[in-house]
Amino acid sequence: MSARRVWAVMEKEILYLLRDPRSLGVTLLLPVVLLILFGYAINFDVKNIRLAVYDPDRTPTSRDLVRALTNTHYFRLVRMLESTREADEVLAAGRAQAVLIIPARFSADLAAGRPTDVQTIINGADSLTANVALGYLEAMIQEWSRRREPRARGASVTPIEPKVRIWFNEDLSSVKFITPGLVVVILMMLAALLTSQTIVREREQGTMEGLVVSPITAREIMLGKLLPYVAIALADVALVALAGRLLFHVPLRGSPALLLALLLLYLLAALGIGLLISAVARSQQVTYLIALIATLLPTILLTGFIFPVSSMPRVLQAVVQLHPATHFMVIARAISLRGAGLADLWPRALALAGLSAAILSLATAKFRKTL
Amino acid sequence: MRRRLRHVIRKELLQIRRDRRIMAMLIVAPLFQLFIFGYAVSLDIKHVPLVVCDRDRSAESRELVESFFRSEYFDLERRVDWPAEFDEYLTSGRALVAVYLPDDFSKRRARGETAEMQVIIDGTDMNSAGVAAGYVGALVKHHVERQMRAARVRAPVSNQPRIWYNPDLNSVNYMVPAVICTILATVMTAATALGLVREREAGTLEQLIVTPIRPIELMLGKTLPFAGIGLLDVGLIVLLARFWFGVEVAGSVPLLFLSAALFLLTTLGLGMFISTVSRTQQQAMLTAFFVIIPSVLLSGFVFPIANMPQVVQWLTYFIPLRYFVTIVRGIFLQGVGTGVLWPQFLALVVSGGAIFTLSALRFQKRLG
């Protein structure tokens, strides 16, 4: 292998990249844009749930219950209903996400010491929000009820108060959770998509044959084509890490050296996947589709980036262990947020190393054959 | 005109068919997304690993702890003697939640005072942490309610919750219909853009221009096949949702197709627009990415728009996908029609019409 010939291929690739500043800009900007979106715009906290209330009781007591719910930032009162039939309308039209129905004898019952029921109807179509709304309503109505309870009658059963403390991400900020995961997704996206695209492009335009008949060996072509993208990927990681640090105070509590070492291991696997795709696809259109289906979507949706792996069906949980990103996702978060070390993470690191080695050797063998 | 248009369409279809992988991908992509969203996208976690430190060691504290493990939400990772040991389990990730019952737990309850318990949760994954905190709260509440029932005490006010439209709070019902939206937005836009740019890259677009085919015919001929495949995908998803996931379209199926066709104006127009500003397929793909990914994230598809900052919420009105997501979920889950959804339909018509017309004009100018 000659460094000069590798450099020649690299130089050509770099020239191609520089001639297209927009593409280069997108590859460098998109990760930061995503980080900013996740940091400022997108979050999972369910707040300001639209609540409509039907209150035929119309007493200070019933109004106090409504205020107890809507004085928080969890619920926002959108409408006082005139009848229970209206509940149907506001829910169907999406004007309200939940409806509270207070019985007409609410305050009378309470004054007489008779237990009473309020009814809540929740739009379950958005199951995530509905789940949270249900939890809030239950807890807040219970809390209101407890405050009214005369000490003497409830004395036989006293409440238990769970004091919850959150470690490692005290404010439950989603951007701290997303940043390490975003690095994992971006590496896979860039490495797999761009490397497969650059090789398929040569083949589509017929310039690969020119390279093959030149004295350059397959390995030199491969290295020369991949190294510029390795550099771009690492620059992206640095940008995301920097933006995460400066804008959102995402910590790096563990060893940076360990994180970098495992990151390189993961990058190798991602490049290998890119090579494998290039061996299967003949046109860039197909490359895009395969990359989208085989790498980007699974990395975003199946490796725990947002949705926990443990919530998936058992079979799927077993299958995703074959994806290097599943392991690196755990590693990246454990090192940066929890300060975990190799002693805690060695099974994951081992799995990642094994997968990278397997994917890369399969990919180089396939790449040689297609040349 | 009809004959020439037919020829361009035929050429495009031949090309799609010749590279059988494209066809496979255009069919496989929705299936794959459907299964991922159907099975994998959920925040409900179960069998959360838990460490317990019960300093009280009373019948009462044991019963509370046991009730945690009787549920499917928590699995016992380890019982430890001192809370100092929690650190090790949480840092290594072997446990997600730690529960500490102080030694006066049952005594305080017996005296009629509020008893405290300490719950420590690993917040790394704030979704799971939130869900786990909810489980702890619910299990403690059930424990107290059981005791109240035994003592024949009732709370003054109880809540009777009911869930409409999706009583089991199944995330499948919410996610599966939305696959229609992501497929049309991600796959169709990029496939159209790449297809047009490839023609320019290969220099065959010029050949088509010198033939008697008019630009409008060329444009329609290049986009109609993708529109056809897009509608085919919608049909496929509707069928699979019904027969595999058991999610039936509550509203009108023709209306669903109509909305898909309207939304296709936007995606195909956008694809065409991207092709006019891109020289290479790589550029087209990355530009498509840059537009599509943020619009999917801001469309309310997974992340509720109501939770976004006000400025961003205003911004989402410029994302046509937002309206399409609302329409698809409304028709699929709530069975509502144009009576409720007309503003969204109107928005789709306006945005689709504008984007498609502008792109078509730009496309023609580039040709002429």
Query: How far does B133 lie from chain A, in Å, by closest CA?
Result: 7
Among B226, B218, B183, B173, which residue's Cα sits nearest to residue B200? B218
Distance from CA of A288 to the nearest CA of B (A): 8
Instruction: Give dist(CA A251, CA A237) in Å, integer.
Output: 15
Q: Give the Cα separation of A110 and A97 in Å (integer).
A: 28
Distance to chain A for B310, nearest Cα, Å:
9
The ipTM is: 0.76
Do A200 and A83 lie in a common domain?
no
Which of the residue ranges A90-94, B70-74, B191-195 would you say has the lowest mean pLDDT?
Answer: A90-94
Among A162, A292, A307, the residue with its CB nearest the CB of B41 is: A307
Tell me if chain B has a CB within 8 Å of the CB of A231.
no
- Mean pLDDT to the nearest integer, A3-17: 87
Residue A152 — pLDDT band, cuts 50, 70, 90?
very low
User: Which helix or strand (DSSP H or E) is residue A181 part of?
Assistant: helix A174-204
**Chain B contact present for A286, CB below 8 A:** yes
Per the model's pLDDT, the better-predicted residue between B252 and B8 turns out to be B252
Q: Are B329 and B249 a contacting pair, CB within 8 Å?
A: no
| Percent of chain B with pLDDT strictly greater than 90 | 26
| pLDDT confidence of residue A154 | 47
Same domain, A114 and A256: no
Least confident of A334-348, B3-17, B78-92, B106-120: B3-17
Contact assignment for B36 to A297 by CB distance below 8 Å: yes
Residue B78 has pLDDT above 50, yes or no: yes
Q: Would you call A120 and B159 a contact, using CB atoms and an 8 Å cutoff? A: yes
A94 contacts on B by Cβ (under 8 Å): 326, 330, 340
pLDDT of residue B353: 93
Residue of A nearest to B162 (CA): A121
pLDDT at A3 over 70: yes
pLDDT band at B30 (very low <50, low <70, confident <90, very high): confident
pLDDT at B317: 92
Examine the pLDDT at A169 and tell me if it is beyond 80: no
> For chain B, what is the largest distance between any 2 Cα atoms, rounded to a whole number of angstroms?
95
From the list B114, B168, B198, which residue is nearest A159 (CB)? B114
Residues 65-104 of chain A with CB under 8 A from chain B are 65, 91-94
Full-model pTM:
0.79
Q: Do B144 and A286 touch (CB under 8 A)?
A: no
Residue that terminates a domain, selected from A99, A116, A150: A150
Q: Are residues A216 and A340 both part of a single domain?
A: yes
pLDDT value for A225: 87
Q: pLDDT per residue over B35-52, tens digit each?
A: 888 877 777 778 899 999
Same domain, A122 and A207: no
Please list the alpha-helical segments (H only) found in chain B. Answer: 2-18, 20-39, 59-70, 86-92, 105-110, 126-150, 171-182, 189-201, 204-210, 215-243, 253-276, 281-297, 310-316, 320-329, 338-367
E strand or H helix that includes residue B158: strand B157-164
- Of B247, B264, B254, B267, which Cα lies nearest the Cα of B329? B247
A266 and A119 housed in the same domain: no
User: Which residues in chain A are contacts of B142 at CB distance < 8 A?
Assistant: none
State whether A24 and A134 are in the same domain: no
Question: Does residue A150 register a pLDDT over 70?
Answer: no
CA angle B275, A224, A17 (to 5 degrees): 30
Q: A54 is in which domain, residue-wise?
A: 49-150
| Closest residue, chain A, to B41 (C-alpha) | A307
Between B350 and A150, whose confidence is greater?
Answer: B350
pLDDT tens-digit map of A305-319: 888 888 788 888 898
Q: Which residue has the higher pLDDT, B290 or B207?
A: B290
How many Cβ atoms sit within 10 Å of the Cβ of residue B174? 27
Q: Which residues of A touch B333 (CB under 8 A)?
A: 125
Contact at CB, A167 and B122, closer than 8 angstroms: yes
* Percent of chain A with pLDDT strictly greater than 90: 28
As a whole number of angstroms, the distance between CA A233 and CA A292 comes to 18
State the total domains in chain A: 2
Query: Over the Cα atoms of chain B, what is R_g?
Result: 28
- Minimum Cα–Cα distance from B314: chain A residue: A41
Would the CB atoms of A316 and B170 count as touching at under 8 Å?
A: no
CB distance B263 to B189 below 8 Å: no
Q: 3-state class of B120 per DSSP?
A: strand
- pLDDT per position as a tens digit, B105-153: 988 888 878 888 999 998 888 778 888 888 888 888 888 888 888 877 7
Buried-exposed string A105-125: b where 16+ CB fall within 10 A, e elsewhere? ebbebbeeeeebebbbbbbbb
Q: Where are the domains of chain B?
A: 2-41+168-367, 48-150
Residue B160, phi then psi, degrees to nearest 5:
-110, 90
A123 and A269 fall within a common domain: no
- The pLDDT of residue B336 is 85
φ/ψ of residue A118, rounded to 5: -105, 155
Instruction: Name the residue with higher pLDDT: B335 or A260.
Output: A260
CB-nearest to B306 from A44, A48, A310 is A48
More confidently predicted of B203 and B116:
B116
Least confident range from A21-25, A153-157, B154-158: namely A153-157
Verify whether the Cβ–Cβ distance A298 to B303 is below 8 Å: no
d(CA A91, CA A344) in angstroms, rounded, equals: 49
Domain co-membership, A341 together with A315: yes
Q: Residue A190's pLDDT is what?
A: 82
The predicted-structure confidence for B207-262, as pLDDT tens digits, reads as follows: 777 777 777 787 888 888 888 889 999 999 999 999 988 888 889 999 999 999 99
Q: CATH number of the domain that A68 lies in?
A: 3.40.1710.10
- A contact residues 306-325, partner B, Cβ 8 Å cutoff: 306-308, 310-313, 316
Chain B nearest CA to A113, separation (Å): 7
What is the average pLDDT across A63-77? 90
More confident: B77 or A157: B77
What's the burial of A134, exposed, middle or buried (CB within 10 Å: 0-12/13-18/19+)?
buried
Average pLDDT, chain A: 85
Q: Do A135 and B137 touch (CB under 8 A)?
A: yes
Whole-number Cα distances in Å, A20 to A5, A15, A24, A284: 24, 9, 7, 17
Give the mean model confidence (pLDDT) for residues A1-8.
Answer: 85
Residues A323 and A244 in one domain: yes
Closest approach of B82 to chain A, Cα-based (Å)? 17
Q: Quickly tell me which residue has 């900052």 as its tokens.
A: B309
Q: Tell me if residue A187 falls in helix, strand or coil.
A: helix
Give a yes or no: residue A158 inside a domain. Answer: no
Specify whether A18 is located in the same domain as A131: no
pLDDT at position B2: 74
Can you tell me the distance from the alpha carbon of B250 to that of B238, in angstroms, rounded to the nearest whole number? 11
Residue A186 has which token pair? 């971006």
How far does the CA of residue A172 sit from the closest CA of chain B (Å)?
5
pLDDT tens string A228-260: 999 999 999 999 999 999 988 888 888 999 999
Task: Compute the CA torsion angle B302, B303, B304, B306 (nearest 10 deg).
Answer: -160
Q: Within a domain: residue A33?
A: yes
Share of chain B above pLDDT 70, in %: 98
Coil/strand/helix, residue B116: strand
Q: Is A170 on the interface with B (CB under 8 A)?
A: yes
What's the gap in Å between the CA of B213 and the closest CA on chain A? 25
Determine, for residues A145 and B158 on separate chains, whether the beta-carbon distance falls below 8 Å. Answer: yes
**Residues B39, A313: C-beta atoms closer than 8 Å:** yes
Residue A151's pLDDT is what? 46
- Give the per-residue pLDDT at A9: 86
Planar angle of CA A60, A62, A63, nearest 5 degrees: 60
For residue B44, list chain A residues with Cβ-Cβ distance below 8 A.
Answer: 131, 311
Predicted confidence at residue A156, as pLDDT, reads 56
Best mean pLDDT range from A314-328, B11-25, B180-194: A314-328
Together in a domain, A246 and A194: yes
In this prediction, residues B90-102 reach a mean pLDDT of: 89
Alpha-carbon distance of B155 to A117, in angstroms, equals 10
The pLDDT of A160-172, averaged and rounded, is 74
Domain B48-150 has CATH 3.40.1710.10: yes
Residue A280 has what pLDDT?
84
> For residue range A317-342, what is the model confidence (pLDDT) as tens digits?
898 999 999 999 999 998 988 888 88
Residue where the block lists tokens 């999610």: B247
Chain B residues whose beta carbon lies within 8 Å of the beta carbon of residue A285: 19, 22, 191, 194-195, 198, 281
Does B307 sit within 8 Å of A44, measured CB to CB? yes
- A188 and A90, same structural domain? no
Q: How confident is the model at residue A155 (pLDDT cuts 50, 70, 90)?
A: very low
Compute the mean pLDDT over every residue in chain B, rounded to the nearest whole number: 85
Q: How far does the CA of residue A179 sit from the closest CA of chain B (Å)? A: 11
Contact criterion met (CB below 8 Å) for B232 and B156: no
Is residue A290 pLDDT above 60, yes or no?
A: yes
CB contact under 8 A, B19 and A283: yes
**B270 or A123, greater pLDDT:** B270
